Structure 1
Amino acid sequence: MSLFFTYLLAGLAIAMPVGAMTVEMTKQGLKNGFMHGWAVGLGGMTVDFLLIIALYMGLASVLAVPYIQIPMWLIGACFLAFLGYDSIKNSDKDITLAGDKPNKSFLSSYRNGLLVAISPGNLVFWISVFGAVLSDSYDTTQPTTFLIVGSGILAGILLHDVGLLAIVSVTRKVMNQTMIKWVSIIAGLILIGFAGYFLYEFVVAVAEVV
């Protein structure tokens, strides 16, 4: 049980830094409420779960190859730039205030979470993080240990998501449409900023190979 709680804290620490997923969850939570923000988080956790399994099966060694990583950074930059542009373009749409019924579907918010999480550049980043955290539990002769470690990490990420969205839900009650619109615009700019970071990583990776 102590192993589970140790990696629960590790999962919480992994999820704490503000990233593209946190930005998208906050935006959807403010525009459409707790459940839609959580749907984004669930989309991300779906990919997290599949990543943990894939890492255990040996994916990390494949993605460590520079010629595979390099195009993933570029494609990831395009993914996040598109999401950022869409956030700014539709900043005044699909906004529901506290107490109103959201017009946006739960599934579309879940899809946004998947899109952020499967961004290739994002995958490279998270695989490096997960790889470091899970490095001591790759032993295929002890699958139970790996299951406990993986469950702890996912529980930590879930705890972060619920805590973040609880704060967002309270904040949403005192915000009007204009304020939420500007949060959506700022979120879009931050996502474009992450796209710029992935593009920078792409340039650096190309320079190292050349």
Structure 2
Amino acid sequence: MDIYLKYFLIGLAIAMPVGAITVEMTKQGLKNGFIHGWAVGIGGMTVDILLILALYFGFASVLALPYVQTPLWIVGAGFLAYLGCDSIKNADKDITPADEKTQKSFFSTYRNGLLVAVSPGNLVFWVSVFGAVLTQSYSSSHSGSFAIAAFGVMSGILIHDLGLLSIVSVTRKVMSRQMIRWVSVIAGIMLLGFSLYFVYEFVNGLIELF
């Protein structure tokens, strides 16, 4: 129970700072409602679960290699730049009033969550935070510690996402179309900012490699 609570709080803490996933979730939640904001969160958690499985089956050392992490910065930058430009360009499109049913597909927003979550930052987190737990999980006395820790982190992220989207859903009911449009523009600018940061990290990674 102590392991679960510890990693639940870690999951909650890492989800709280405003990041690319939070920005995209909020934008989709305002434009198309709770379910579409949640689709972004599910996309991000899908990547997290795949990383957990990769670590469990022994890929931690591979994921920690600079030659693996560095190219992912530019890949992530490309995805975020695409989503940022799309958010600004289509800021006035796909806005569904709170009392109407959205026509936007669930899969399209889920895909956005996947694209945003492809980040070396995710790799660094899972490799560093779960490094010690992964080692312990192979001993008979701590055989379930890795699974408990992973479940704890994912629970923390889940609670954060549900709480955020509940607030967004209530806020959406009192926001005008123009206000939501500007939120989409601001979200696009923030995603482009994250993209530039990824490019910066990519350049730094290349400098360190060569």
TM-score, normalised to structure 2, is 0.93
Paired with 1:10 and 1:3, the residues of 2 have a C-alpha distance of: 11
Paired with 1:187 and 1:42, the residues of 2 have a C-alpha distance of: 19
The Cα shift of 1:2 comes to 2.5
The answer on whether the counterparts of 1:10 and 1:133 sit within 8 Å (CA) in structure 2 is no
Q: Tell me which amino acid in the other structure corresponds to 1:80.
A: L
Q: Tell me which amino acid in the other structure corresponds to 1:6.
A: K
Q: Tell me which amino acid in the other structure corresponds to 1:75.
A: V
Paired with 2:6 and 2:178, the residues of 1 have a C-alpha distance of: 42
Aligned to 1:133: 129
Moved more, 75-84 or 139-148: 139-148
> For each residue in 1:132-176, what CA deviation from the matched residue of structure 2 results, as whole angstroms up to 9, or x when unmatched?
221221132344111111111100000000010011111111101
Residues 1:114 and 2:110 are matched in the alignment = no
> For each residue in 1:6-45, what CA deviation from the matched residue of structure 2 results, as whole angstroms up to 9, or x when unmatched?
2111110111111110000000000001111011101111
Aligned to 2:44: 44
Paired residue secondary structure (2:9): helix
Aligned to 1:79: 79
Segments of 4+ moved more than 3 angstroms: none
Q: Tell me which amino acid in the other structure corresponds to 2:131.
A: S
Of all paired residues, the percent bearing the same amino acid is 61
Paired with 2:143 and 2:108, the residues of 1 have a C-alpha distance of: 35
Counting matched residue pairs gives: 206
Structure 2 unaligned residues grouped into runs of 5+:
none
Q: Tell me which amino acid in the other structure corresponds to 1:132.
A: S
CA 1:68–1:133 in 2, change beyond 3 Å: closer, same or farther? closer
Aligned to 1:201: 201
Moved more, 68-77 or 175-184: 68-77
Query: How large is the Cα RMSD of the aligned pairs?
Result: 1.3
Paired with 1:78 and 1:167, the residues of 2 have a C-alpha distance of: 30
The Cα shift of 1:103 comes to 1.2
Q: Tell me which amino acid in the other structure corresponds to 1:127.
A: L
